Amino acid sequence: MKFFLSVYSQINNNSSDTKKKCSNQNLLVFQIHHRNQMMMKMNNKRNKDDAKKSEVRLNTTSNSSPTQTTSPVPSRTGGLYIPPATLRLLDTSSVDKSSVEYQRTQWDALERNINLLVDQANESNICPIINELFKQNIVRGCGLFVRSIIRAQSTTLVRASVCAALVSIINPWIEIIGELIVKQVISSFRRQYKSNDKTKCLSTTKFIAHLVNQNVLHEIITLEILILLLGSPSDDNVELAIEFVKECGQKLCEVSPRGLNSIFSKLENLHNKPLKKCTRDMIEDLVAVREGQFKENPAVPRGLDLVHKNIQYTHMITLDTCEPQPILDLFTYDEKYEEHEEQYNVIRAMFFRKSSDDEDKSNFSISNDKGDGNKDNVDDEKKEKQETIIDDRETNLLILRRAMCLEIESSVDHEMKLCQVIVNICAEQQTYEDFFGLLGQRICTLKKEYVKYFEKVFQDQYEIVHGLENVKLRNVAKFFAHLLFTKSISWDVLNCCNLTKDTKLSECIYFKYLLLEIVEFLDKLSF
């Protein structure tokens, strides 16, 4: 009996254990199912919140530009990987170009491309870099280009010439970029000079010198900077002036030799100042460099003379007239984005058409040279036997003089024609020569009737000055400045120069050249 009771109790215990195990298993399954349901609810709620946030963001962007309608950019990845280039193509094909998001992405891409191209530029690849820069909208990103150029030239002094060459190529096509760079650099120099930052002043003055060498900036700024530095001759200022003269001395020898002479006379007079021995040695080294015609410091390095003189545009900005302008390197929404893109496409097409024409001309000249070279190889022996013939009678010169005399005599007013010929020949020279000023002065002294003809030519030249190139403008102004200073013609001819707010820029530059040359004459008399 006891045995049956013990067996029965064991059976009851086992059944209770199995019930507990079953109940525990059911509870575990219920907890897992409940947890999965809660996770699904949380994910759904999170997705709904994200959708509401995206709608609110789109509404705020549409309120910021009420005239434009923005369309949301749906996610087309679907959890799959898509290459960035393909994704950008999909974005540009579907997104409205007038939207803020699209313009923002294009601005970021433009900033990356400009910085990359400017950093990669050097003497060997400057032409391909220019082509890639013009493929970008550098008119819209002019502030980005200015900031990138200034940053690149300030990092290493060696890159100043390359950056100046980039600016000289872009400046004739987009003058606003050259003007922004010039004003920013000059204002930076004034700020650095006031803070006595010698290192930054050295890099900035070197960049200014190369801009002057590339005819982007007028040479008057070099004389103003040198006068400022030598006005308070400390060791640092004299060192800056010496390095500055080394960079732009060859250019000043061509365009302003009198100004360079006055600077060297001031440097030679510094022996009485309390300067260090190393500074005095640097002055002596500079004098030796000048005697060697600055051959070790050429104005334009080899391979960077890429712009023809007839195309160059020179900015006439001085230390006093330069006003710092904010660089446009921040993103701004453009309501006429597509219209401005089409306008830049016209500039881009003109540039590439011009560059392709130049390449065709160069290829044609190379092919002709090769053909001529083959002929020369055939006739080498014949040419070696030929002797050079020297015309001691100057037949060609006599023919030229006879042709000029016939042309002058054939005109009704041959006196007037002679004056015009002298002025035109003077204008065609690469640099101004004192011979023409002395010739005009001699003619007016010998025959007084030529005075009125030169005065008439002065008035005629002032009327057509807007059509003259920069070199011709300078030569003509210096010629008449010589006649005015020597009193060969009357100062009453300046009555035709009426400077008002509506006066053209070319007339102002012509009048400034005229006055600067007269000032140089006065400085020469003072010395």
> What is the per-residue pLDDT across 118-170, written as a single tens digit (0 to 9) for each?
989 888 888 889 889 888 888 888 888 989 998 888 887 788 889 999 999 99
**In which band, very low, low, confident or very high, does the pLDDT at 378 lie, cut at 50, 70 and 90?**
very low
Closest by CA to 134, choosing from 320, 277, 403, 348, is 348
Query: What distance in Å separates the CA atoms of residue 522 and residue 397, rounded to the nearest whole number?
Result: 37
- The pLDDT, as a whole number, for residue 65 is 42
pLDDT for the residue 205: 92
The share of the chain scoring above pLDDT 90, in percent, equals 8
Digit-coded pLDDT (tens) for 273-306 = 788 888 888 888 888 888 888 888 888 888 888 8
pLDDT-derived band at 310 (thresholds 50, 70, 90) equals: confident
Which two three-digit tokens encode residue 153? 């030239």
Residues in CB range of 415: below 8 A, 6 or more apart: 449, 450, 453
CATH of 408-525, one of 1.10.3470, 1.10.10, 3.30.230, 1.25.40: 1.25.40
Residue 15 belongs to what H/E stretch? helix 2-64
Measured in whole angstroms, the distance separating CA 252 from the mean position of its chain's CA atoms is 21
The ranges of the chain annotated as CATH 1.25.40.180 are 101-329
Better-scored residue on pLDDT, 460 or 357: 460
The neighbouring-strand residues paired with 212 are none
CA 370 to chain centre: 36
- Whether the per-residue pLDDT at 193 is higher than 80: the answer is yes
The span from the first CA to the last CA of the chain, in angstroms, equals 146
Strand partners, 315: 217
Which of 2-11, 251-260, 404-413, 461-470 is least confident? 2-11
Backbone conformation region of residue 487, classed left if phi is above 0, alpha if psi is from -120 to 50, else beta: left
The pLDDT assigned to 266 comes to 87
pLDDT tens track for 474-527: 889 999 999 998 888 988 888 888 877 778 888 888 888 888 888 888 877 665
Could you report the per-residue pLDDT of 56-101, keeping only the tens digit for each? 554 544 444 444 444 444 444 445 566 766 666 555 555 667 788 8
Under a CB-based contact definition with an 8 Å cutoff, are residues 425 and 457 in contact? no
What's the rounded Cα separation, in Å, for the pair 405 and 413?
13
pLDDT of residue 395: 59
- The mean predicted confidence, pLDDT, of the chain is 76
**Mean pLDDT value across residues 47-64:** 54
Residue 508: predicted pLDDT: 84
pTM over 0.75: no
Residue 355 has pLDDT above 90, yes or no: no
Structure tokens at 351: 């540039």
The whole-number pLDDT of residue 296 equals 84
Q: What is the pLDDT of residues 112-126, one digit of tens each?
A: 999 999 989 888 888
331 confidence band (pLDDT: 50, 70, 90): confident
User: Cα 111–113–114 angle (5° rounding)?
Assistant: 65
* CA 17 to each of CA 12, 26, 29, 335: distance values in angstroms, whole numbers, following the listed order: 9, 14, 19, 79
Q: What percentage of the chain reaches a pLDDT higher than 70?
A: 69
The single residue listed with the structure tokens 């400022």 is 228
- Calculate mean pLDDT across residues 203-208: 92
Confidence (pLDDT) at 51 = 60
| Span 361-373, average pLDDT | 47
**Which pLDDT value is given to residue 412?**
47
Confidence at residue 279, expressed as pLDDT on a 0 to 100 scale:
87
CATH of 101-329, one of 3.40.50.300, 3.40.50.10860, 1.25.40.180, 1.10.287.110: 1.25.40.180
Give the side-chain half-sphere CA count within 13 A for 189: 28
pLDDT tens-digit series, residues 166-183: 999 998 888 888 888 998
Mean pLDDT over 342-361 rounds to: 75
**CA–CA dist 215, 48 (Å, integer):** 63
Supply the pLDDT for residue 206.
Answer: 92
Does the pLDDT at position 364 exceed 70?
A: no
Residue 28 has pLDDT above 90, yes or no: no
State the pLDDT confidence band at 207, using cuts at 50, 70 and 90.
very high
217 strand-pairing partners: 315
Please report which confidence band the pLDDT of residue 375 belongs to, taking 50, 70 and 90 as the band edges: very low
Give the best-scoring range by mean pLDDT among 8-17, 100-109, 210-219, 425-434: 210-219
Q: Both tokens of residue 260?
A: 């360079």
**What is residue 204's predicted lDDT score, i.e. its pLDDT?**
92
Residues 458-466: what's their mean pLDDT?
85
